Structure 1
Amino acid sequence: MSAPDPNLLGVYLRDRRARLDPAAFGFSATRRRTPGLRREEVAQRANVSATWYTWLEQGRGGAPSTEVLERIAGALALSQDEREHLFLLAQHRPPVMDLQPSQAVSPRLQRVMDALVDSPALVKNATWDVIAWNHASTVLLTDYGLVPPAERNILKVIFCAPHTRRGMPNWERDARFAVAAFRSDSTRAGARVAKQAEALAAELSARSPEFAAMWNEHDVRSHGEGTKHINRPGVGAIAMDYSHFVVDGQPDLGMIVYTPATEADRARIATLLAG
């Protein structure tokens, strides 16, 4: 049994180019000893020298720059997952994200949320627009179906909807946390989202002096897990634990799921849902 090749990047590059059809890229498919593109053809498409690309496959070229890796990913017609794998092999880190906020979730994900009968769940995109929610969320948090589309944003609901503040006994703490987490999320998502986030921050700063003050503190936090407290007419205080999940395959989407913190909270939630 042969020992594994330690040059994992070279193995991956050779495998990817061997899978490509030369004719699809305008190259002649005749007189080829091996399938796929030749090294010099990949180098031509990536606008690098054939010698340097050969060294890269052989593990002699050193760590390529981000710009060159992007060109190689394009030359090999890599998918998003394949591109990420290329960066992990070459630079031991994923590529810098430059996300475009999604505006919808898959029917499968919506069914997952709908199955959470007594757990509010919502999905936000990279600019924190809420793009999906379940029935429990409409009863316990905000009925986003009644909110104008332009206002379906977590920060707008926190800072610009008076009824939301009345139902949040720890409003200032929660609002401050949300602003810090939003800054972290939007920066991580890349330049395109960061630009949209700055525009949203400017809008909210004009509409809410409290948001402006918190935004100018430049705090950052990760969303993670925690406990949210709300007050609702007829049942009083409710405590819900929450967890934040990134949607696999759509890194700009985050799903937040809330669960009753205690059995007493579960009973209060059941009362609201039954009403």
Structure 2
Amino acid sequence: MGENPPESERETWRLSVDGSSCLTGSGAGVLLVSPSGWTLEYALRFGFKATNNEAEWEALIAGLTIARHLEVQRIEVSSDSQLVVGLTSGEYEPREDSMVKYLSHFQSLKLAFEILSVTKIPRAENARADQLSKLATAGELEKNQTVMIHYLDRPTISEADVMDVDIPQGPNWMTPFIYWLRDEILPEDPAEARKLVYRANRFQLRGGILYKRSFSFPSLRCLAPQEAEYALREVHEGVCGNHTGGRTLSHKLVRQGYYWPTLHQEAVDLVRRCDKCQRNANISRRPSQPLTSITAPWPFA
């Protein structure tokens, strides 16, 4: 009887990746095998032009991303790209700016695994991943129902250049309610404190978000001034906006589940400032039809 494999080998996943670039398009193939033999085949089609090296990197990053979502801790990666293996092992130094970004993205993904190794294998031993990458560039990809398909509109490294900036918001009308409902902190002025406690019965704090109780609608989410201005303009002149009047605009925002104290007045002010509304609005003092002159045959007839 043979000896059982070590625990580390039984828990190690195996990942085979390959990229393909040709005149008809670019794509990647990913083959992920669990320790128990469960296999996941993945074809990735690119909506952008990519070189062979970039396609190899995209395949590697896609495979590691899938493994991270599956909470894999130990993984062995096989690739037939000498450049990718050399860069990940530190044998090569990246010269192109795109290779530097891909390597940096790989280093950030590497932190999610306990053990991660990338090995160079001959192309003949990476046949299935190569077939998947070729399949991603073929026209009959949509007809294949046994392979998971994903479309990548832009390179992965382009997402690393975008950074979400959270603009801090100063104290606003919601701050006293949040302090009271969350920390039970009241204003120093006794009159303001009594008024706040009375008004706070109409509000509730759930998950750090302030809501206002409503009689005929579900709880209304309270908006800060910056959020309120965006919501007003989006409903008034956004994709589905039709430049409604101030009262209709405020009622529509309430039906959408939003609230702030000056909602109605700000809606009216926005409509008054809207250039298109002022140019195309009906003039109430204008007669509905042209005036008709009446001639009198004699005075006071």
More strand by share: 2
The two structures have a TM-score, normalised by structure 2, of 0.22
The two structures have a TM-score, normalised by structure 1, of 0.24
Compare CA radii of gyration and give the structure with the larger one.
Answer: 2
